[in-house]
Amino acid sequence: MIKRGDDMSDELAMDSGALIFATLADVYLSSGMVDEAISILKDGLSRNPTYTLAKLMLGRAYYMKGDIKEAVKILEGIYDDAGGSENTNLYLGHCYKKLGEVDKAIKYYELTCKINPENKEAKQGLEVLKPKSVKVEKVKIEKSPEPVKIEEIKVEKMPEPIMVEKVKVEKAPEPVKIEEAKVEKMPEPAKIEMEKVEEPLEFEIPLEPLRKPVNRLLSIKAVKGAFICSKDGLLIENYYKDRTDIEEICAMIAAIHNEVEESFKYLNEGCVDKFTIEKEDETVCVITAGASLFTVVTQSGTNPGLVFVYARKIIDEIMGVLG
Amino acid sequence: MKVDEITKIPKVLGAGLATDDGFIIESKFIVGYDPEKFSSMAAQIMKRIKKCLNIEKTSAIFYASNSVFFVKNTEEGIFFVICKKDANIGLVKINIDRKT
């Protein structure tokens, strides 16, 4: 902020012809009594209109009051006479800074610094304003469409090498025609590539061979659906799309299977091959297939023998795929 | 009565009626088979099925390597039958359904 005490006192002291109203106005400004200072200065200037120092003080007073435009008007008005004054430049810098006219503010702060390189307010003003001006320039550079255009041009130029490749491809058949033996050999690597492409498909649909026999099983009217789960209750493949709780059923079926398996082992009756559970509304047929359980849900009253016959082929497939 | 008739079917090793907690009410087994073991197994399996499938009345057939085990929930208790693997399972099942 502006020093209110001694800013003008030096100039007043130096001005041998200083008038008393100016000295009094400086005291008022130093005390923060801006309106009183303006009143005295206006009154004194009406009688001494050429008194530049009083005008400078009036400009400062308006600046302190917040009437920046009036301050600028007064200070610019005396600039021809008091352009070499440190305070004139300093307050013009302050005013333009407040008005957001950065370039002008910097200009006056720099002039202030030229007059008095140790003026702290001018230095602080420059420190504050100059980085901003640099940032503004950077933003302008970033926003400038030129580099974008250059990139676009590069992108547009990209297809050119592709075109060249295409041309090469079009030219390729010529040597192929010359060396017919090589052309005959060409399809072989292509077949190898096809085989390589098929490999991941096998991993994606490992139970594909089951689809046909399962569909045959599902085509039986009484069969509601089927699913394959592991013995630890995790769903492997679901062919029972109507049910949303298949994963829960898988866990339950596995729990029953494991319970019975343990009991049978305890009684030396061997392992569980298959089992059927009859409910009021449906029958659940479970067949073990290695580490998996193939479960078929049918309507109640369905002959389980029919299900087991159809399921046998599926079990063989499951054993082949899942082990 | 029920148990006697079932065990007359060829290759049926034994049959019994047990409480929900596995105690034998009635049983008939060939020599060498412990009815208490099978009754407890029947009760345990039935308990598991009820719990997992959330059903009260049910029947199940378990095919093991050496034998086939029938278990059915009846009003009188848990009815169970064990027979050899090569027994006429259909016949046994029909008899169980009739008698219970």
Q: State pLDDT tens for residues A274-299.
A: 898 988 888 888 998 888 898 988 88
Least CB-CB distance to B48: which of A259, A274, A279? A259
Least CB-CB distance to B65: which of A271, A276, A278? A271
Residue of A nearest to B47 (CA): A256
**CATH number reported for the structural domain that contains residue B9 in this entry:** 3.30.450.30
Q: Which domain holds residue B11?
A: 3-99
Count of alpha carbons within 13 angstroms of residue A147, beta-carbon side: 5
Average pLDDT over chain A, rounded to whole? 74
Indicate the residue among A87, A109, A129 that finishes a domain.
Answer: A129
| Cβ neighbours for A273, distance < 8 A, ≥ 6 positions apart | A287, A288, B63, B64, B65
Number of independent structural domains in chain B: 1
Has residue A174 got a pLDDT over 70?
no
Inside any domain, residue A163: no
Inside any domain, residue A182: no
Q: A277, B44: Cβ pair inside 8 Å?
A: no
Separate counts of helices (H) and strands (E) for chain B: 3, 5
Least CB-CB distance to B52: which of A252, A269, A272? A252
Residue of A nearest to B41 (CA): A263
**CATH number reported for the structural domain that contains residue A115 in this entry:** 1.25.40.10
Average pLDDT over residues A59-81: 88
Number of independent structural domains in chain A: 2
Indicate the residue among A86, A108, A129 that finishes a domain.
Answer: A129
Q: What are the φ and ψ backbone dihedral angles of A278, each rounded to 5 degrees? A: -100, 120
Has residue B83 got a pLDDT over 90?
yes
Chain B nearest C-alpha distance from A207 (Å): 26
Residues A12 and A113 in one domain: yes
Is the predicted ipTM greater than 0.90, yes or no?
A: no
Residue A13 has a pLDDT of 56
Indicate the residue among A77, A112, A129 that finishes a domain.
Answer: A129
Has residue A123 got a pLDDT over 90?
no
**CATH number reported for the structural domain that contains residue A239 in this entry:** 3.30.450.30
Contact status of B91 with chain A (Cβ, < 8 Å): no
Give me the total of CB pairs closer than 8 Å, taking one residue from chain A and one from chain B.
Answer: 71
Average pLDDT over residues A99-125: 87
Contact status of B32 with chain A (Cβ, < 8 Å): no
Least CB-CB distance to B60: which of A270, A276, A280? A276
> pTM for this structure?
0.50
Alpha-carbon span A43 to A45, nearest angstrom: 6
Contact status of A81 with chain B (Cβ, < 8 Å): no
Inside any domain, residue A164: no
Average pLDDT over residues A27-53: 84
Q: Which two tokens stand for residue A310?
A: 């159809």
Q: A260, B45: Cβ pair inside 8 Å?
A: yes
Q: What are the φ and ψ backbone dihedral angles of B70, each rounded to 5 degrees? A: -105, 140
Q: Which domain holds residue A123?
A: 8-129
Contact call for residues A53 and A26 (beta carbons, < 8 A): no
